[in-house]
Amino acid sequence: MMRNVYYVQTPENVSLEFELAGSGSRGVAVAIDMIIQGIVVSIISIILLVIAGESSMNLLLVQENTLYIVIALLLTFVLQFGYFFLFEVFMKGATPGKKIVGLKVIMANGEPISVTAALIRNFIRIGDMLPGIYAVGVITVFFSSKYMRVGDIAANTVVVKVRKKKNSLAQPSVIPVESRSLILSQKEEALLTEYSYRKQAVKNQINSDALEAQLYHHFYPKVGLVPNLPNNFTRKQYLDKLMEHIGIQ
């Protein structure tokens, strides 16, 4: 199967590679999310019907139930809009559906999705859903070279496939120090040296989250595990141990 590879060149001249998610995998993820939303809406509806009591069978016809109707409509809107927005913000670009399928949303420059981008792409989701079953979104994805729906174009985001982690039972790929010249180019070592310097410089400290993510996604697939990594290590810990391993402090 042909991979739809998307390349990003960082300001530090590091080329990052991502595999774009097509309309098929994205459709499956949306379907899963909609099933979850439907279950939640059904639970909310049942709760409201129970609260309405004897008039529950005529909930839409009884004037006294206006409050329940307003609450139901409000919760449905919040669920439809907030579901994708909150999950993408707090699960680093993934919703339950995307997580199951193995997808996530990132910025087009390779950085993690921002709160503003998540807000924009999901607010415009209403337009992508028109005139039904995400017709506008599907058509846009089909004709876009980066498989971007309208919301993605507005927010400058792309949906990519998450690389599968190696089996934890497999032998870690630890790189001997004496072999590092065969693994890292001079440019890559210079990049890590600059990163280390800028991180420690008092007058030139960097906002390292985005850069750490870019460096980690470049070096980890290439180098693998390095010695002295703690369990459940962070990107920063990995880069620190990598620099320690090759003699950059």
Core vs surface per residue 165-194: b (16+ CB within 10 A) or e: eeeeeeeeeebeeeebeeebeeebbebbee
Is pLDDT at 115 greater than 90 in this prediction? yes
Core vs surface per residue 39-64: b (16+ CB within 10 A) or e: eeeeeeeeebeeebeeeeeebeeeee
How much of the chain exceeds pLDDT 70, in percent?
A: 75
Residue 6: the pLDDT is 83
Residue 110: the pLDDT is 84
Residue 174: the pLDDT is 44
Q: For the chain, how are helix, strand and coil distributed in percent, rounded to 5? A: 60, 10, 30
pTM: 0.62
Q: What pLDDT band is residue 78 in, cutting at 50, 70 and 90?
A: confident
How far lies 43's CA from each of 31, 36, 54, 86, 95, in Å? 19, 11, 19, 20, 20
Section 171-183 average pLDDT: 45
Residue 11: the pLDDT is 63
CA gap 69, 44 in Å, rounded: 11
How much of the chain exceeds pLDDT 90, in percent?
A: 20
Residue 199: the pLDDT is 74
Q: Could you state, in order of their start, the residue ranges of all structural domains in the chain?
A: 5-161, 177-244
Q: What is the pLDDT of residues 9-48, one digit of tens each?
A: 766 566 677 889 988 899 899 899 989 988 988 887 787 6
CA gap 20, 159 in Å, rounded: 6
Residue 170: the pLDDT is 40
Section 128-156 average pLDDT: 83
CA gap 59, 114 in Å, rounded: 41
Is pLDDT at 224 greater than 70 in this prediction? yes
Section 140-166 average pLDDT: 85
Residue 68: the pLDDT is 65
Section 120-141 average pLDDT: 81
Q: What pLDDT band is residue 181 in, cutting at 50, 70 and 90?
A: very low
Is pLDDT at 173 greater than 50 in this prediction? no
Residue 52: the pLDDT is 63
Q: What pLDDT band is residue 204 in, cutting at 50, 70 and 90?
A: low
Could you tell me which of 154, 157, 83 has the C-alpha nearest to residue 113?
A: 157
Is pLDDT at 196 greater than 90 in this prediction? no
